[in-house]
């Protein structure tokens, strides 16, 4: 997360109130939180607890078109 300048509260916010959730591979889910020029993508697994697999920012325009 430090590589991208992301904070833990940003990730938690994306998980609590995502703008969109899509299906990922192997039963994983992807929470999308749209920011200014990018979308924060949080890949996670959910059983009894939520386990974050990876987090990264992506170009917003790439994911806006798939709404």
Question: Which residue in the block uniquely carries the two structure tokens 């959730």?
Answer: 21
Bridge-based pairing of strands 50-59 and 38-46 is antiparallel
Residue 28 DSSP class: -
Q: What is the pLDDT of residue 4?
A: 79
Q: How far apart are CA 17 and CA 34, in angstroms?
A: 11
Domain tally for the chain? Answer: 1
Tens of pLDDT, residue by residue over 20-56, are 999 999 999 999 999 888 999 999 999 999 999 999 9
Name the pLDDT band for 60 (thresholds 50, 70, 90).
confident
Which range of residues forms the domain containing residue 13? 2-64
């Amino acid at each position: 997360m430090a590589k991208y300048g992301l904070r833990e509260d940003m990730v938690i916010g994306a998980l609590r109130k995502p703008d969109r959730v899509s299906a990922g591979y192997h039963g994983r889910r992807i929470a999308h939180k749209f920011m200014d020029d990018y979308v924060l993508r949080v890949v996670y697994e959910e059983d009894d607890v939520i386990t974050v697999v990876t987090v990264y920012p992506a170009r917003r325009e790439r994911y806006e078109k798939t709404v």
